């Protein structure tokens, strides 16, 4: 049985549409709806889960569907939760501390993430491996 889709990811999915050429595009106001929905989690204990799920979906859009700019835009929306995650982490929530580090990493050097290094090319200083961000978050293992 498949795991249910997180409500925040459902909102992100509804913010996207298929283009005539088979690509993916964001609907007008779609990213704003994702931000608004994410903000509802800012004072809730399940904020780390919401951020983790949004980051995983953004990775899927960017890497799985090949829409890197759109995946990055979704990751930037997830990074909006950094301050709220810091507040949870200060209260001793380890999940929030880990998720905050991952979300904050996306705000540093995000211009460098717009183009992945080619095979054999050295990674730029400050670049972040998206797989390492997700693997550092608590929760179910992704394959």
Residue 31 and residue 29: Cα distance in Å, rounded? 6
Task: Look at residue 116 and tell me whether its pLDDT is greater than 90.
Answer: no
Confidence of residue 114 (pLDDT cuts 50, 70, 90): very low
Judged by average pLDDT, the poorest of 9-13, 35-39, 136-140 is 136-140
Judged by average pLDDT, the poorest of 21-25, 115-119, 122-126, 134-138 is 115-119
Is 71:110 a contact under the CB 8 Å cutoff? no
Q: Give percent helix, percent strand, percent coil of the chain, each to the nearest 5.
A: 55, 5, 40
Measured CA distances, 106 to 4, 39, 74, 78 (Å) = 26, 18, 11, 9
- pLDDT tens column, 78-104: 988 888 877 777 777 666 666 666 666
pTM value?
A: 0.64
Task: Look at residue 124 and tell me whether its pLDDT is greater than 60.
Answer: no
């Amino acid at each position: 049985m498949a795991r249910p889709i997180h409500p925040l990811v459902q909102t992100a999915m509804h913010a996207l549409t298929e283009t005539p050429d088979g690509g993916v595009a964001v609907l007008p106001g779609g990213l704003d709806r994702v931000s608004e929905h994410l903000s509802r989690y800012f004072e809730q204990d399940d904020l780390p889960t919401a951020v983790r799920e949004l980051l995983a979906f953004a990775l899927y859009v960017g890497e799985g569907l090949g829409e890197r700019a759109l995946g990055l835009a979704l990751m930037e929306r997830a990074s909006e939760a950094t301050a709220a995650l810091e507040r949870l982490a200060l209260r001793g929530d380890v999940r929030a501390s880990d998720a905050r580090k991952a979300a904050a990493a996306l705000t540093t050097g995000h211009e460098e993430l717009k183009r992945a290094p080619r095979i054999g090319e050295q990674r730029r200083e400050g670049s972040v491996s998206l797989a390492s961000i997700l693997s550092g978050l608590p929760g179910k293992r992704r394959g």
